[in-house]
Structure 1
């Protein structure tokens, strides 16, 4: 796939970044604007397209920008490689073990 379009929830954003392709975030509510902005700030996709401003034309433009901007694909691949090297489980286990017991 050349790019992904999603609502930019935390889990979906992570999945998109792991895919190593540009992401187009279309946030709806809660934390989604944050993660959609994070994608753009990391250089892995265009600026977010808020759901309330979503039109077929704007979505088409955002997708075109995502797939035609080589730096988005390059940065997405760099991020995917970095994520692949992370051990996401061990830090959580260590944090849980560090919690005070009753």
Structure 2
């Protein structure tokens, strides 16, 4: 995870802990550390989940693209074959 994100999370955690004025300084530090650790772990899980989903989508769309390309090539070849056969048929009749 980037340094900027870690710094942002740590600052947010410290701000939250400092807002709990009834806690002592050591308790506030502990709250800030625990919140930051949990928040960073959550963000990491979310990032991994997003990357996993991106890989799934890439594989799915790659497969779909391959199928579409095969169909397009088959249609083009069929059209050319039909045009050649029609031209030969017309030439033989004429």
TM-score normalised by structure 1 residue count: 0.30
With CA pairs under 8 Å and 6+ residues apart, which has the higher RCO, 1 or 2? 1
TM-score normalised by structure 2 residue count: 0.31
> Which structure has greater strand proportion?
1
